[in-house]
């Protein structure tokens, strides 16, 4: 598929969207990544990654309803598309396959 | 900044910054995310760090996809951009698919635009005469109108009238005069190595030093303050300086006036005026040079109209305030004539003529040079507008015809939701595109034709002066105007298609459109008939000018200029030439027919109170026989002494003076007394524009400037050679300058000649454009009726019948056009012919000729397509349904 190459950060963001599925918006994804990886992440980097993922068709988005927190501002809620899921699976499988291929002697 | 612990707030300036760059549709979610993270981080990291992270996040959001960008508004893309691309594609495809129609359309329009560009350039030039002097709106020429039995309005006035006026009437700040030497000068320049150059100079003046300042003359060489002041000095134009001196410095060199034998020092070289003006000259001689040979009586004679007096008014004064003081001034100025104030006012009137009016509105006696006429400006402007209109009409015709081929497109567009205004915009846009292409082509043609135009016109077009902002703007306006004019009707018409009908492919046009189209064809051909009619009339009038019996022999007459040293040998020259069989007769004259004959007083000896102002010519004995002028009564000048004064009058003079038995009556002219010897039949010594004026032919062999030689047989070139060698051998140091009388007289009709040429061109163009329109209409109609023609043929119509059917359809509008154009053309032609005292009568041949010509052209245009349609095998047209 054209344009489905995933950068490392994009992969992380996509995973975070999957983790927070149903409630994945900019701030949530950011804090999820920060918690999981233990490092600070720029909101701009996350938004730009989400934007690119959406262009690639790996996530889609819609505006959520108004909430009491964050001054009543609406959230843009992202969800992983089927293509996105397949991409994650492919990566996962590829990694696994590579893990399997490491000879036992490598660790001794 | 609010630093209260209870209500921490993100840094406002960062929020503000976000709003500055962030696109509107993204700002809500991003700001929400930022705020949420901010409060989370206060909990985790403390307020200080949260603030820093907030700012860093805002900074990190400065990415292209977040930025405000009106056109990349990706949620709701602008509806126009892709449509415009679509319009362009469709327009170009249509152009290319209908190559013939498109090219007819563009060529017609381009031809029209090219032609109007030239006309507009000419008209603009005509309207800009004398507009660019610093005081253009304040410079006036003093003119004198004689009132009485025969009114004459003079462009030239008395020598001192301007000067006295400046003394008497306040508000005249400058006075400058020109005075034309008569006859034309012959100048020579002898260089240091002894070779001499000799030319006849037909264009120059004696002038006051004040002209330099008043008319902003630009000196290339010489001193602005002293030029034209000294006696016997001359100023040359750059062109004339080059003619005599080449690349040498002309200042200080001496040019000899061979007529008066006066050496003149060149003190200046003046640049030719870079703008159109009626002041045309090659040289200016200082006025003081003329004063040397001028008697005091002449100088102070208020009745000698021979100087062009220009005055510059003070800005505080106007024409009317100055003219209001004229009566007082005239009483004083004309006092020396001994007339009572009443007599002064009843016989003459002074005027101030604005210098800007001279070129187009002045046809006075003794003009510096023949002026143009505002009538021509009108005619040409109307012609330009007409041709442009014709081209636009053509465009409308072709476009509406083509429109039916695009019914389906319009239907689809309408079904897809295109509004009427959108369709109109699309089609007007297409028209603009075509107009733009046509204009580009027209500009290209224009550039190609400029050299040709320059050979015809008096004032050539300078190519590099054309690219001014004003001109470019004008052309753009023209494109839009033509495109809009030509595009709006078809667009409106197309947009009005019923979408269901157009989708069904119903092609029968409504009758209203048929009427409009027929009307336009009628209009085009009416204009064509009008143009042909006018062209024929102009041509006939011109032929009449050249062929009318003007009462004397002009065909084989050569006029040779006689001056200076030539006079000493003139008897010998005449003797020698008389013996030659190639010369049938010769005589001397002061003025050539076709030139302006000067007017002078003619006073009866027995009644000196009665003065007649009549045109005069001074000749020697053989004048009448040389020109073959017919004597009606009395004798010629045959048996007179050389110094004896005598007169011959023409019939008009007898009538004007109301004489019963004129023969033998004594008259005084220029101080000499003589008898009337004879009366000649009226002959046309001036152009046929005016009636024959009263004329006095005076026997005075020593007042002559030209030798007239009537050549026998068909040996003009040989005789000319003979004359040249005779003059050269007998008078070696003079210039042999000659003119053919015939050519001289033809020059009188130069402006009519030019107009004839231009009209031929115009009528050709109108016919071309009209035929293009007709042609494309025929193509369209034939296409529409192919099935009908097929069925007709199957049912037994002959080819001829089909052709006649089609022809009839198209010749009807042409016939109507002819009927409409005739009376109008007749009326205009009658008006034009009123300009000439002698003119042709408009006979039926012109009517018939104009109609026949246009019918023939129309038939030719129509029949080509009609015959093709009639000859096609009906199987081909009926097969596919």
Closest CA to B294 of B197, B388, B177: B177
A10 contact partners, CB below 8 Å, separation of at least 6: A49, A52, A53
Residue B827: pLDDT band with limits 50, 70, 90: very high
Chain B CA closest to residue A45:
B60
Q: How far is B404 from B494, CA to CA, in rounded Å? A: 8
Average pLDDT taken over every residue of chain A = 86
Chain B contacts of A71, Cβ < 8 Å? Answer: 31-32, 35
Q: How far is CA B648 from the centre of its chain?
A: 42
B36 vs A44, A63, A69: nearest CB: A69
Cβ pair A45:B60 closer than 8 A: yes
The answer to whether the Cβ–Cβ distance between A44 and B63 falls below 8 Å is: yes
B586 compared with B337, residue with greater pLDDT: B586
Mean pLDDT over B674-690 rounds to 90
Instruction: Identify all chain B residues contacting A76, using CB atoms and an 8 Å cutoff.
Output: 29
Cβ of B177 under 8 Å from any chain A Cβ? no
Q: What is the dihedral of CA B531, B533, B537, B540, to 10 degrees?
A: 110
Tokens of B837: 């005292």
Q: Which two tokens stand for residue A12?
A: 């992380």
pLDDT at residue B4, as a whole number: 43
Name the pLDDT band for B558 (thresholds 50, 70, 90): very high
Decide if pLDDT at B727 tops 60: yes
Does B33 sit within 8 Å of A25, measured CB to CB? yes
CB pairs under 8 A between A and B: 67
* Confidence at B80, pLDDT banded by 50, 70, 90: low
| Strand-pair category, B738-740 with B646-650 | unpaired
* pLDDT per residue as tens digits for the range A34-71: 888 888 888 889 998 998 898 888 998 888 877 777 77
pTM: 0.71
| SS3 state of residue B577 | helix
Task: Give the model confidence (pLDDT) of B211-255 as tens digits.
Answer: 999 999 999 988 888 889 999 999 999 999 998 888 888 998 899
Dihedral of CA atoms B856, B861, B865, B871 in degrees, nearest 10, equals 20
Q: Exposed, middle or buried by CB within 10 Å (0-12, 13-18, 19+), for B838?
A: middle
Nearest CA in chain B to A76: B29
Look at A47 and B66 and tell me if their CB atoms are within 8 Å: yes
Question: Chain B residue closest to A43 (CA)?
Answer: B57
For residue A5, list its beta bridge partners.
none
Distance separating alpha carbons of residues B565 and B258, to the nearest angstrom: 8
- Determine contact, residues B270/B191, Cβ cutoff 8 Å: no
Give me the pLDDT at residue B695, please.
93
Restricting to B residues 48-87, those with a Cβ less than 8 Å away from any Cβ of A are 53, 56-63, 65-66
Chain A CB contacts of B59 under 8 Å are 44
Mutate to test the interface with B, among A30, A35, A70 (most CBs of B within 10 A): A70
Closest CA to B825 of B793, B795, B849: B849
pLDDT band at B505 (very low <50, low <70, confident <90, very high): low
> Are residues B149 and B161 in contact, defined by beta-carbon separation less than 8 angstroms?
no
Q: What is the mean pLDDT of residues B516-535?
A: 87
Residues A27, B33 contacting (CB under 8 angstroms): yes
Tens of pLDDT, residue by residue over B422-455, are 888 888 888 888 888 888 998 888 888 888 877 7
| Region B866-878 average pLDDT | 81
Partner B contacted by A86 (CB < 8 A): no
**Partner B contacted by A60 (CB < 8 A):** no
Return d(Cα B821, Cα B823) in angstroms, integer: 6
What pLDDT shows up at residue B508?
A: 58
Question: In chain A, whose CA is at the least distance from the CA of B49?
Answer: A40
Residue B353: strand pairing partners: B141
Cβ contact (<8 Å) for B33 and A43? yes
pLDDT of residue B856 exceeding 60, the answer is yes
3-state secondary structure of B288: helix
Taking an 8 Å cut-off on Cβ atoms, the answer to whether A51 and B59 are in contact is no
Structure token digits, residue B702? 């020593």
- Determine contact, residues A87/A6, Cβ cutoff 8 Å: yes
Determine how many CB atoms are found less than 10 A away from the CB of residue B686. Answer: 20
Whether residue B74 has pLDDT greater than 70: no
- The set of residues, in sequence order, having a beta carbon less than 8 Å from that of B300 and lying 6+ positions away, is B159, B160, B336
Q: What are the beta bridge partners of residue B31?
A: none
CA dist B220 to B235, B241, B251, B359, B493, Å?
11, 11, 11, 27, 63
Q: Is A35 on the interface with B (CB under 8 A)?
A: no
Average pLDDT score over chain B = 85
* B856 token code pair: 């023939």
DSSP state of B569: G
How many angstroms from the chain centroid is the CA of residue B40?
A: 85
- Nearest-CA neighbor of B433 among B399, B479, B393? B479
- Asked if B46 reaches chain A (Cβ–Cβ under 8 Å), the answer is no
Query: Please, what is the angle between helix B844-871 and helix B799-833, to 10°?
Result: 150
With 0-12 / 13-18 / 19 or more C-beta atoms within 10 angstroms meaning exposed / middle / buried, residue B880 is exposed
| pLDDT confidence of residue B638 | 79
Q: State whether residue A51 sits within 8 Å of chain B by CB.
A: yes
Contacts of B644 (CB under 8 A, 6+ apart): B674, B699
Nearest 5°: the CA angle B492, B498, B500 is: 150
> From the CB of residue B237, how many other CB atoms can be counted at a distance below 10 Å?
22
The dihedral built from the CA positions of residue B528, B529, B530 and B536, taken in this order, carries a sign that is positive
Task: Summarize the confidence of residues B651-674 as an average pLDDT.
Answer: 88
The Cα–Cα gap between B428 and B422 comes to: 10
A51 vs B contacts (CB less than 8 Å): 65
Per-residue pLDDT at B287 exceeds 90 = yes
Put simply, whether A56 touches B (Cβ < 8 Å) is no
Placement of tokens 């002097």 in the chain = B133
> Which of A73, A76, A77, A78 would best serve as a mutation to test chain B binding (most B beta carbons within 10 A)?
A73
SS3 B734: coil
DSSP lists the bridge partners of residue B634 as B678
Q: Which of B456, B457, B280 is nearest to B358 (CA)?
A: B280
Q: Does A42 touch chain B (CB under 8 A)?
A: yes
Q: Is the peptide bond before B183 cis (omega within 30 degrees of 0)?
A: yes
Nearest neighbour of A47 by CB, restricted to B28, B30, B59: B30
Considering only CA atoms, give the Rg of chain B.
Answer: 40
> Using CB atoms, which residue from A40, A43, A70 is nearest to B61?
A43
DSSP B429-497: HHHHHHHHHHHHHHHHHHHHHHHHHHHHSSSPPPGGGS--HHHHHHHHHHHHHHHHHHHHHHHHHHHTS
Is the pLDDT at A2 greater than 60? The verdict is no
CA distance readout (Å), B531 to B119, B388, B394, B753, B795: 16, 14, 17, 16, 43
Measured CA distances, B529 to B51, B115, B119, B410, B742 (Å) = 88, 19, 21, 38, 34
Give the helix/strand (H/E) hosting B90.
helix B80-97
Strands B283-286 and B204-207: parallel
**CB of B283 closer than 8 Å to CB of B234:** yes
pLDDT at residue B76, rounded to an integer = 46
Task: Kindly determine whether residue A26 and residue B33, on different chains, have CB atoms separated by under 8 Å.
Answer: yes
pLDDT at B206 over 90: yes
d(CA B663, CA B659): 9
- Tell the burial category of B538 from Cβ atoms under 10 Å away from its Cβ (0-12, 13-18, 19+): buried
Q: How far is B470 from chain A (nearest CA, A)?
A: 51
CB proximity list for B500: less than 8 A, separation 6 or greater: B411
Closest CA to B513 of B529, B493, B528: B493
Q: Which residues contact B555 (CB under 8 A, 6 or more apart)?
A: B742
State yes or no: pLDDT of B143 exceeds 80.
yes
At B718, list the tokens: 């040989």
Which of A31, A42, A48 is the closest to B65 by Cβ? Answer: A48
Burial B432-441 (b: 16+ CB within 10 A, else e): bbbbebbbeb
């Amino acid at each position: 598929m054209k344009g489905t190459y995933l950068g490392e950060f994009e992969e992380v963001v996509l995973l975070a969207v999957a983790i927070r599925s149903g409630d994945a918006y900019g701030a949530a994804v950011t804090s999820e990544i920060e918690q999981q990886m233990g490092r600070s992440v720029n909101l701009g980097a996350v938004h730009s990654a989400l934007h690119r993922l959406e262009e690639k068709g790996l996530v889609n988005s819609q505006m959520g309803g108004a909430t009491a927190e964050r001054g009543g501002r609406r959230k843009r809620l992202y969800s992983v598309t089927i293509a996105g899921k397949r991409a994650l699976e492919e990566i996962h499988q590829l990694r696994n396959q590579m893990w399997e291929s490491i000879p036992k002697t490598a660790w001794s | 900044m609010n630093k209260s612990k209870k209500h921490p707030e993100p840094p406002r300036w960062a929020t503000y910054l976000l709003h500055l760059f962030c696109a509107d549709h993204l700002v809500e979610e991003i700001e929400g995310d930022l705020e949420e993270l901010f409060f989370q981080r206060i909990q985790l990291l403390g307020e200080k760090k949260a603030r820093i992270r907030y700012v860093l996040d805002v900074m990190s959001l400065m990415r292209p996809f977040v930025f405000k960008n009106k056109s990349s508004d990706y949620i709701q893309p602008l509806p126009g951009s892709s449509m415009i691309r679509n319009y362009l594609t469709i327009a170009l495809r249509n152009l290319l698919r209908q190559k013939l129609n498109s090219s007819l359309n563009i060529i017609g329009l381009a031809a029209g635009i090219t032609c109007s560009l030239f006309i507009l350039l000419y008209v603009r030039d005509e309207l800009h005469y004398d507009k660019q002097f610093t005081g253009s709106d304040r410079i006036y020429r003093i003119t004198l109108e004689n009132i009485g039995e025969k009114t004459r309005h003079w462009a030239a006035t008395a020598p001192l009238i301007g000067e006295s006026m400046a003394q008497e009437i306040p508000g005249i700040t400058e006075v400058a005069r020109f005075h034309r030497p008569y006859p034309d000068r012959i100048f020579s320049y002898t260089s240091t190595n002894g070779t001499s150059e000799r030319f006849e100079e037909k264009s120059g003046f004696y002038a006051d030093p004040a002209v330099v300042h008043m008319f902003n003359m630009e000196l290339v060489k010489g001193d602005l303050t002293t030029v034209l002041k000294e006696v016997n000095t001359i100023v040359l134009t750059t062109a004339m300086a080059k003619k005599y001196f080449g690349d040498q410095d002309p200042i200080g060199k001496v040019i000899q006036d061979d007529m008066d034998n006066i050496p003149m020092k060149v003190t200046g070289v003046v640049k030719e005026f870079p703008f159109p003006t009626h002041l045309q000259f090659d040289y200016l001689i200082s006025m003081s040079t003329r004063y040397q040979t001028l008697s005091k009586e002449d100088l102070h004679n208020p009745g000698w109209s021979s100087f062009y007096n220009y005055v510059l008014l003070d800005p505080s004064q106007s024409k009317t305030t100055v003219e209001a003081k004229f009566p007082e001034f005239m009483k004083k100025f004309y006092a020396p004539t001994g007339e009572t104030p009443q007599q002064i006012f009843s016989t003459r009137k002074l005027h101030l003529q604005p210098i800007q009016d001279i070129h187009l509105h002045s046809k006075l006696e003794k003009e510096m040079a023949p002026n143009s006429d505002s009538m021509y400006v009108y005619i040409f402007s109307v012609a330009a507008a007409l041709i442009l209109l014709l081209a636009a009409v053509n465009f409308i015709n072709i476009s509406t015809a083509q429109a039916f081929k695009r019914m389906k497109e319009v239907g689809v567009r309408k079904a897809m939701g295109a509004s009427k205004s959108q369709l109109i915009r699309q089609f007007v846009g297409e028209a603009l595109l075509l107009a733009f292409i046509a204009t580009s082509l027209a500009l290209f043609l224009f550039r190609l034709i400029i050299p040709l135009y320059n050979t015809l016109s008096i004032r050539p077009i300078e190519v590099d002066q054309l690219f001014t902002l004003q001109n470019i703007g004008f052309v753009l306006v023209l494109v839009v105007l033509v495109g809009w004019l030509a595009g709006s009707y078809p667009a409106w018409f197309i947009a009005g298609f019923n979408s269901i009908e157009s989708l069904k492919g119903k092609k029968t046009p409504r009758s209203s459109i048929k009427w409009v189209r027929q009307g336009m064809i009628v209009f085009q051909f009416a204009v064509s008939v009008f143009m042909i009619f006018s062209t024929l009339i102009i041509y006939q009038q011109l032929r009449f000018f050249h062929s009318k019996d003007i009462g004397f022999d002009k065909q084989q007459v050569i006029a040779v200029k006689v001056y200076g040293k030539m006079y000493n040998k003139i008897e010998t020259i005449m003797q020698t030439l008389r013996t030659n069989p190639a010369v049938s007769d010769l005589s001397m004259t002061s003025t050539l027919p076709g030139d302006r004959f000067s007017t002078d007083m003619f006073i009866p000896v027995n009644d000196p109170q009665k003065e007649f102002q009549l045109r005069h010519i001074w000749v020697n004995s053989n004048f009448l026989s040389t020109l073959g002028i017919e004597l009606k009564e009395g004798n010629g000048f045959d048996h007179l002494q050389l110094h004896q004064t005598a007169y011959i009058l023409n019939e008009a003079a007898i009538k004007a003076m109301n004489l019963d038995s004129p023969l033998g009556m004594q008259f005084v002219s220029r101080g000499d007394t003589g008898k009337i010897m004879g009366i000649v039949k009226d002959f046309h010594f001036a152009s046929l524009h005016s009636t024959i004026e009263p004329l006095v032919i005076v026997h005075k062999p020593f007042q002559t400037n030209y030798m007239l030689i009537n050549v026998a047989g068909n040996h003009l070139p040989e005789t000319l050679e003979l004359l040249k060698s005779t003059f050269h051998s007998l008078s070696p140091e003079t210039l042999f300058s000659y003119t053919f009388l015939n050519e001289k007289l033809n020059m009188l009709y130069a402006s009519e000649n030019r107009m004839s040429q231009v009209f031929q061109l115009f009528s050709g163009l109108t016919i071309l454009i009209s035929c293009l329109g007709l042609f494309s209409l025929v193509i369209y109609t034939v296409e529409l009726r192919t099935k009908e023609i097929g069925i007709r043929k199957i049912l037994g119509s002959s080819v001829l019948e089909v052709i006649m059917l089609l022809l009839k359809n198209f010749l009807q509008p042409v016939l109507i056009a002819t009927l409409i154009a005739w009376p109008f053309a007749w009326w205009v032609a009658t008006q034009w012919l009123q300009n000439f005292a002698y003119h042709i009568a408009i006979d039926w041949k012109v009517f018939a000729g104009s109609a026949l010509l246009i019918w023939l052209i129309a038939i030719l245009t129509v029949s080509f397509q009609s015959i093709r349609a009639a000859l096609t095998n009906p199987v081909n047209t009926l097969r596919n349904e």
